[in-house]
A and B are shown apart, each in its own frame.
Chain A
Amino acid sequence: MRGLIIKDALTLKSTWKNLIVMLIGSLLLSYALGNYTLAIITVPMALLTSGMNTFQTDEFYNTLSYTLSGPYSRMKMISARYLYTLLMAVVSFFVGTVIFTLINFIMNPIVDALNVDMLRFLLMLELAGLLVDAIFYPIIYKYGCEKARFVLLSIVMLLLGIAAVVSVSFNIFDMAKLDWEAIIKWMETHGVLILTIVSLVLFGLSYILSIVFFKKRDF
């Protein structure tokens, strides 16, 4: 399994120049806009989505049939990809924190590194990233990268369409009556906890689904 994680990490390594350019670009943009959030999240976002990119690279080079022919079970291959994704979420959080600390230090020499709000924001970013991966991965394992995007988009559109029709027909969801202030306040207090639970539960379910979907796939 270590070999597969290293393979994915090396795939990411081969894009290091792009990551540097991304960081410089986002720093310039942030400087111009006077808000450094973009600079703080750009590289972590790229790292977070690198798991998804490795699917594409594997598909492009037809690597899956090669690795499946090696001393790996299908389950191990999936475990390696999920583990890599979790590792990248940790790395991404760490990198985000470092970028934020450096920017904060340069812009405001009084060291105020551990800005809790920013750390919480970064954590929510990682969790949201894991959530997206959790939704995408089983579909990619089932249909492959190319088709997965269309499958997911069609499912989302269908579900949204049905929800909208049901909501309008039965007047279930009156947006005007919602107390948005209360909702936002509640989310600020409980958002991280809720997102953590939802992301981790979905990530686990996604892993199981991926195993089921990948079992019979031919390469």
Chain B
Amino acid sequence: MNNLEVKNLNKTFKEFSLKDVNIKVPAGKIVGLIGENGAGKTTIIKCVLDAMAKDSGNVKLFGLDYSYKLKDDIGIVYDDSFINESFTIKDLNLIMKNTYSKWDQKLFYKYIKEFNIPYKKEIKKLSTGMRKKVEIAACISHHPKLLILDEPTSGLDPVIRSEILDMFQEFVENKNNSILLSTHITSDLEHIADDVIFISKGQIIFDEPLKKIKEDYIVIELNKDEFKKFNKKDITRYKENRNDYQVLIEKKNMKKDYNKFIRNITTLDDIMLLYIRGARCED
């Protein structure tokens, strides 16, 4: 079953639009949503959650047509919005207890204790990392089935990021649970995502299992002479640097003698960068 299914989502602004976006987040999976700043990741999330009114399209949650009541089973973390920072952890608990029907106070305080977060301090007096941990504890303590996370690890140091990513992996150990994780830190996804949706300029470029993406795309590096001689038909995208060319090749176009041009392991970042900033050969 899909915990989230978005069909033909459209939303138009003056200078940007989402065009026929289709997304599926199956139960038991972590789906990464990647793309450059302004690609439309947050707009998709906000349209799904009704923080933005969509122009057209259909949103299904847990196999049912969208209803605000279904959001009782969703946990949310936004990059830039939360609650009044003059509240304390106790205040936050009181609000959440009266918001989510399955709010688990014990679980919330267990996370707070594990994270060493002081109960009585106002949220604004906590460090950025601690604050983010509070948000994550709050989003997970009502036993949601779906987490929708918009840049949950941005601005955090690698240690805290790793702790948080571990929590997400634990969360999907329950096969009914799933996560839609929007991030520009693609290295986070390389460790935990099952599927990756790549969006650019409001359009889905690909939506594939991470494993398949890593198998299907290879980035090679060529010097200028090598690039001149290279069969351009095999190139999906390329980017000219000062001393060399970075070239994205689909596995089906990979020839044996291209192996010598592989200098590094291909990362999602490389693929994303070449798709966004790279040129096509016919360009």
Contacts and interface: CB of A to CB of B under 8 A. Distances in A.
Interface of A: 2-4, 6-7, 10-11, 13-14, 57-58, 61-66, 68-74, 76, 215-219
Contacts of A7: 83-84, 95
Given A3-B96, A73-B68, A68 B49 contact: yes
B53 A61 contact: no
A71 B100 contact: yes
Contacts of B82: 61-63, 66
A218 B95 contact: no
A210 to B, nearest CB: 16
Interface in B33-56: 46, 49-53
A218 B52 contact: yes
Contact of B71 (A65, A69, A74, A218): A69
A218 B46 contact: yes
B50 A10 contact: no
Given A69-B51, A70-B100, A218-B46, 13 more contacts: A11-B84, A11-B86, A61-B82, A61-B85, A63-B84, A64-B81, A65-B51, A65-B78, A66-B76, A69-B71, A69-B76, A71-B101, A73-B68
A71 B94 contact: no
B16 interface: no
Contacts of A69: 46, 49-51, 71, 74, 76, 78, 148
Tell which of B46, B74, B95 has the most Cβ of chain A within 10 Å: B95
B78 A66 contact: yes
Contact of B69 (A2, A66, A71): A71
Interface string B77-112: 010111111110001001111111100000000000
Contacts of B91: 10, 13
B68 A72 contact: yes
Given A7-B84, A62-B81, A215-B53, A2 B98 contact: yes
Interface size class of B (residues with CB under 8 A): 20 to 34
A63 B83 contact: yes
Contacts of B87: 10, 14
B49 to A, nearest CB: 4
Interface in B52-73: 52-53, 68-72
Interface of B: 46, 49-53, 68-72, 74, 76, 78, 80-87, 91, 94-101, 148
A24 B18 CA distance: 55
B135 to A, nearest CB: 9
Contacts of A65: 46, 51, 78, 81
Given A10-B87, A14-B86, A219-B52, A71 B81 contact: no
B95 A68 contact: no
23 contacts: A2-B99, A3-B96, A3-B99, A10-B87, A14-B84, A57-B84, A61-B81, A62-B80, A62-B81, A63-B81, A65-B51, A66-B76, A69-B49, A69-B50, A69-B78, A70-B71, A71-B69, A71-B70, A71-B72, A71-B101, A72-B71, A76-B68, A218-B51
B53 A71 contact: no
Contacts of A62: 78, 80-82
B161 to A, nearest CB: 22
Contacts of B94: 6, 10
Contacts of A63: 81-84
B99 A10 contact: no
Contacts of A217: 53
Nearest to A76: B68
Contacts of B101: 71
Contacts of A11: 84, 86
A169 to B, nearest CB: 42
Contacts of A66: 76, 78, 81-83
Contacts of A57: 84
A-B pairs, top 7 by smallest CB distance, nearest first, are A3-B99, A62-B81, A69-B49, A3-B98, A71-B72, A14-B86, A65-B51
Contacts of A2: 98-99
A127 B80 CA distance: 37
